[in-house]
Amino acid sequence: MDDPVGQDLIDFAGRLADAAARVIRPRFRTVLDVDTKSDSSPVTLADRGAETAMRELIQATYPDHGILGEEFGAERLDADHLWILDPIDGTKSFITGSPLFGTLVGLWRAGRPVLGIINQPISGERWLGVEGRRTVLNGRPVATRKCPDLGQAALYSWGSEGLAGALGPRLHRLADAVSLVRHSADCYAYGLLALGTVDMVADYDMKAYDFAALVPVVEGAGGAIRDWRGRPLRLDGDGTVLAVGDPDRLADGARLLAPGPAED
């Protein structure tokens, strides 16, 4: 296969993030109407408007490419190039005025992740991961850090409510084994992992649009990202995600997150 990501696609992904940011920034920390979707998650006009802006740009520029977005579903899923979009990953943070959210722009080609952007439109931070290249933050190369022992690790997870849910026993095992635990940073936590300030992120109930852009960012910074069983992430996977800055800690995390006899 030829180079899966030319500069034209990299530049275009940046244009998508810019288009979403223009919708999101004016609405941050303003009075918002919040709707509840069928899965009980919140959504705002900023979510819908940002995705609309990105979809219109894709349709006008690459009409043969596929699109999978959180708010408006799928088009041309069988296309060789598939853009996977989450306009605001972390809507709960957004509606409460916290900047721990981001826009996710992912490109998968022939079924594998080749490009990902985490864009924080308020702070102006943009992580870009491209297959075969070093991840950059605002153009500056970044790298994950080594973690010689799991007991020294800093962990982020989806939310403290997860500890009380069905997967709580597994998350508790991991949380009890590390040095520091924080919650509810959504995609921003993966950016911090790529930056080398966080060692591990464990999430669940993740849809394709939640993780598709994260894979090139994490892997391009030297980390590893899999499901809780240590398997490569798939768009139709089980929704669990484990990212580590030091690939040597992947097996440690997967071991603690694996279901016990009464949990499978």
The domain locations on the chain are 7-141, 150-257
Longest distance between any two alpha carbons in the chain, whole Å: 52
Other Cβ atoms closer than 10 A to 55: 20
The Cα–Cα gap between 210 and 229 comes to 18
Please report the pLDDT score of residue 262 as a whole number. Answer: 63
Phi/psi at 261 (nearest 5 deg)? -55, -35
Higher-confidence position of 2 and 137: 137
Please report the pLDDT score of residue 263 as a whole number. Answer: 63
- CATH architecture of the domain 150-257 equals 3-Layer(aba) Sandwich (3.40)
Record the pTM: 0.94
Q: Please determine, for residue 176, whether its predicted confidence score (pLDDT) is greater than 50.
A: yes
Please report the pLDDT score of residue 60 as a whole number. Answer: 98
* C-alpha of 155 from chain center: 16
User: Which strands sit side by side in the sheet containing 200-203, from one edge to the other?
Assistant: 180-183, 154-157, 200-203, 241-244, 224-226
Residue-averaged pLDDT of the chain: 94
Please report the pLDDT score of residue 1 as a whole number. Answer: 46
Other Cβ atoms closer than 10 A to 249: 23
- CATH architecture of the domain 7-141 equals 2-Layer Sandwich (3.30)
Q: Which two tokens stand for residue 89?
A: 């990953």
Q: Which is it for the CA torsion 128, 97, 210, 178, positive or negative?
A: positive
| Residue 22: partners with Cβ closer than 8 Å, 6 or more residues away | 53
The Cα–Cα gap between 257 and 108 comes to 27
Please report the pLDDT score of residue 173 as a whole number. Answer: 94
Q: Identify whether the C-beta of residue 253 lies closer than 8 Å to the C-beta of residue 200.
A: yes
The Cα–Cα gap between 105 and 23 comes to 15
pLDDT one-digit tens code per residue, 41-64: 888 999 999 999 999 999 999 999
Complete DSSP assignment for 89-101: ETHHHHHTT----
The Cα–Cα gap between 57 and 220 comes to 26
CA neighbor of 84 nearest in space, from 76, 92, 94, 96: 76
Q: Give the mean model confidence (pLDDT) for residues 153-167.
A: 83
